[in-house]
Structure 1
Amino acid sequence: MEKRLNRSDLIFSLAFLLMLVIAVGAFFYGVKVGTDRVESKYAAPNEPEPTAPVMPNAYQQQDLVSFYHTVFLPYREFQNDWFDAQRKWLSDSTLDRAGYLDQLKKSAMKQYDAIKKVSVSNSSPLLVDAQTSYLKSLKLFSDSFSDLAKNANNLSADAFIQEVNANAYYKEGRIQALTGQGNYYDSMLKWAAMIDTDLPAEYESPDILSIAKWKQLPLIIKIKVSADYLSTQSEMKEFSPQDLTAKIDDFINSGQAEKRKLKSFSAIAELLTSTDGVRNGDFLQMKSRFYENEQLPQLPFFFSDN
């Protein structure tokens, strides 16, 4: 005779089956959750990383103006002393050039100390780099003057200036000065690109820039191209990149480029710089003729005789 399950046995069996179903369901749910987490973990690196936002306070006009007064002008003061000394040496061979070099060394270190104290915002790294390059330049020039002083009065002025230009410290100082200048003008292009979204924030000067292409460039890019040229050619001059820019535009507009069969920016720039055809202040003299409606940062060398 079959033994019938009593009520308690039946309840126990049903409870056991229910627990088994719950356990199996929980197991498979756990497997699914774990699988999803693993897939998510290894899929994430393949997703594109969010682009870091551009710092809203980078390359503001006030940063460019502050740099002009606290870094560029002190450096320019030393540079003017140096160019003035060379003119005097060439006009008077009896001058004590060793004494001049001692004064120039003091001038370089005076401006070095002034510029070193300046705090440039890290949000504008090109300006930080420019400050660093100007500091390196001043220190290298100071070292070169110490090195050159011992032979300063034993050569003619022309021969001595050639010796200066061949000095390793001086040559590296000139490179650093032009690098600082290039970074400063690159910062101006960054500023312009924020003001006018049609302008690129960066521009790489081509090896050959035709006159036709040059004429199409906005002024701020032309000035950057001129700064790049001076840096590439290691041309440290009394004039500024904007002076070279204006002189090239004048040369083209006057028909001289066509007359001389010059077809590129670099060909004209080489002719003008090698023949002392550019003067400090040329940009300001020609600004109303060529650039009346061009937008530039409010820096004194674009708007006054400073």
Structure 2
Amino acid sequence: MEKRSGLNDFVQAAPGYISKVLKENNYARMADKILKFNLKMKRFLSSDYRRINFCKDIDTVSELCYITFADIASEYKNDGGKEGMKKPYIVCHMMTSLDGRIDCAMVGQLTGVEEYYATLGELNLPSTLSGRVTAQLEMALPGTFQAKNGVFIGQERFSKKVDATGYEIVVDTKGTFLWEKETDTAKPHLIITSEQVSKEYLDYLDELHISWIACGKDKIDLKRAAEILAEEFGVERLGIVGGPAINSAFLEAGLLDEVSILIGLGIDGRKGMPGVFDGFPMEKIPTPLKLKDVKTYGNGAVWLRYLV
């Protein structure tokens, strides 16, 4: 292969980019990052190499950067990296139509819906987390909390009201949902907000004896929230049972360990109906998965489990 300055510059610059990726992502997902990096590089070189005159052998460049990536990954692992981050084992569990839609009213009509809670039980997920839309439709009281002075907490804090084997966790970035007073329950609520939540709202939750976590300057820091759930609330296994926004947020944050899909017998097909994951930019590369298990039911429903 003819060596060119452009190629040399590219290979020399690669370690810095890769190191940045490693520092921002869990080492356990390194295989995914290696795959995505090489695909991006191949696409870049195949479309531009004539103009910038890198080289003739794109695969050789890919191999060089793959080796660089693997070397840095090895060093990163030896240094500890983020693989030691304490977090729950997190599963996204959803029921869908054959075409991957998750509208609640629709899936409630499908044969196989009766298997949803049975499969959720088999996953052993004492704590479950719902997003804003799901919580507003199915869990919170009508109305919106109105703060009078609007003073934000502005720092990471948490308040644990009760020890429990599992929690009903809700994300509410700025603290707007209304709740009933928490009484003795096997699965108490736990509200996660950003640091842009008002002190008044947290006082309101305190009065209702509801636990809360505030983390993330402008939006909820899901990685930090996962650490607090594990370290302070003892959450070991967590199910994400919300809609496409919260599912996608956990996927993008690199926090999902498993995706569990129960497919009911039916096709939605309606325009604009939500899917399991949604909202990523068009240039996003598909997230690779590894099949863990397949189970079929007498009524025709199919349960698929994938490792992320």
TM-score, length-normalised on structure 2?
Answer: 0.21
Q: Which has the higher helix share?
A: 1
Which protein has the larger Cα radius of gyration, Structure 1 or Structure 2? 1
Q: Which has the higher strand share?
A: 2
TM-score, length-normalised on structure 1?
Answer: 0.21
